[in-house]
Structure 1
Amino acid sequence: MTEQRVEEGAGGTILFDAARAPQVDADWFSPHRWRERGALRSQPGGRGGVAIIESPAGEVVLRHYRRGGMVARLLGDRYLFTGGRRTRSTREFHLLAELERRGLPVPAPIASRYVRQGLRYTADLITAFIPDAATLAERLADGAFNATLAGRVGATIARFHRAGAWHADLNAHNILVNGDGIYLIDFDRGRLRRPSAGWRRANLARLKRSLVKLGARDAAGDTFDAEWWPALVEHYERNLRG
């Protein structure tokens, strides 16, 4: 269970899990500060990349929220402020905490922050690092994607959908695989929804488009449509029924 606390200050409004990190300040959200301490390493990921940090709470991931598409040229990393609890970082922190409470495989939320600047704000999120993991996209690229892995992915997604957990951008980059299991990451704009076949099918269709775009059909030929994707759907439907 998370022990949520809020700290207000010149460095922004910080929400953190005191059970994992007894005290969090603005420096936690500064890659420069971690670099000075020799505790920062970065890896590609997301629109602006993510920072992997060795923190007092263990190895964590720091992500700064950035816009994508054409609007990014105008607003960059700024969002319209409509209330503290409605900021993207706060909402994702709360959602991850609830999903973790329900026993779903997500990175544990450590801390979030938003910094208000008039009618706009910027935001950051810190989550626990999942060790020895690769994205599903990387598994596809290195030839490790097959019907067995597809079935495990389908079963995992079904667990989330049974709980009403909707991922706004379910793609092969937001699914992690390691020896312990399958994890979903990056729940920005995600939420809990009333069960519905419509949004569940749309979620799966988004993932399929992602895999095809990354070359799953080129890599596997007919095997993708004849074996891999049917295995994912079969395990999904079986686990969705519980």
Structure 2
Amino acid sequence: MNQPAIVKPCQEKFFQQGNVYCRYDNVEIEAFAPEMLDSEYWQAKNSIVGSAQGRGTTWFIATKNSAHIMQNWVLRHYYRGGLIGKIINDQYLYGGLEKTRAAREFALLKTMRSKGLPAPKPVAFRVIKHGLFYRADLLSSRIENASDLVGVLSHKKIDHALWFTIGKVIKAFHQQGIYHHDLNAHNILVDDKNQVFLIDFDRGEQRKTLEKWPEDNMARLLRSFRKECHRVVNFQWQEENWQALMKGYQS
């Protein structure tokens, strides 16, 4: 299984200013400011190099540290889905900092990286408390030279060996008890060396038992492929590709 290159472990620092609570990796960020969790901050520096649309806009950032080493990050604001998301959009009930969506995903990413699993590195999160509610943002490393499976399959087929690798990588996460709440074709990335990564672990968690939920995860992923077949023109996926993926998963 491919593994991310981990040069240094995450070294957390805590920051609070009024109703703003942040945690960040001071190896990645030398001079932290909470404004770094705003897209406007990076737009003013001409550091926005791209974006992607989901529930909201995900921003891709390229910046240099004091040693002039390029850092590539992803900035995401947390938005609610479903009907309730149309009403309160991006507000969540506050039950303590460690229970916020951002803090939990930051911690899970840190855990996965420590286990050598191919997932983004956590860089920083911000929680802004408003009375009983909060809003949140997450900054994480960007997987370079990678595209999600929907993007890949929209213009080409991938071979049996890569499908096998995808299944094997997913199994590695499951074996470590990592539950992905929304495992779908958009949240699987493949880079230019055919290395496979999982992203977007909002509402994910580490579970002690493997009972039932891995099956549900895989069923959700299969539904995702079938859905994209109807949504994306010339989507290069067939049922036999799922069999190759499952061979990797079961290996």
**Normalized against structure 1, the TM-score is what?**
0.92
Contact map agreement 1:11 1:26 (CA 8 A) in 2: no
2:10 aligned counterpart, secondary structure? coil
Contact map agreement 2:174 2:210 (CA 8 A) in 1: no
Number of positions where the alignment pairs a residue of Structure 1 with one of Structure 2:
236
Shift of 1:55: 3.1
Contact map agreement 2:120 2:142 (CA 8 A) in 1: yes
User: Do structure 1's residue 53 and structure 2's residue 61 form an aligned pair?
Assistant: yes
Alignment map for 1:1-242 (pairs within 5 Å):
1-10=9-18, 12-56=20-64, 58-180=71-193, 181-215=195-229, 224-225=238-239, 227-238=240-251
Contact map agreement 2:155 2:235 (CA 8 A) in 1: no
Structure 2: gaps (5+ residues): 1-8, 66-70
Is the deviation greater in 61-70 or in 16-25? 16-25
Shift of 1:210: 0.3
Counterpart of 1:39 in structure 2: which amino acid?
Answer: S
Give distance in 2, aligned partners of 1:207 and 1:145: 17
Q: In the alignment, which residue of structure 1 is the partner of 2:4?
A: none
Q: Which runs of 4+ in 1 moved over 3 A?
A: 216-221
Contact map agreement 2:60 2:72 (CA 8 A) in 1: yes
Decide which structure has greater helix share. Answer: 1
Contact map agreement 1:7 1:13 (CA 8 A) in 2: yes
Shift of 1:219: 5.4
2:14 aligned counterpart, secondary structure? strand
Percent of matched pairs sharing the same residue? 33
Alpha-carbon RMSD across the aligned residues, in angstroms, is: 1.9
Counterpart of 1:19 in structure 2: which amino acid?
Answer: V
Shift of 1:30: 1.4
Q: 1:28 to 1:7 in 2, by over 3 A?
A: same
Give distance in 2, aligned partners of 1:220 and 1:125: 31
Structure 1: gaps (5+ residues): none
Contact map agreement 2:60 2:74 (CA 8 A) in 1: yes
Q: Deviations over 1:212-238 (max 9, x none)?
A: 0000899589x822x211111111011
Is the deviation greater in 159-168 or in 43-52? 43-52
2:212 aligned counterpart, secondary structure? helix
Contact map agreement 2:154 2:235 (CA 8 A) in 1: no
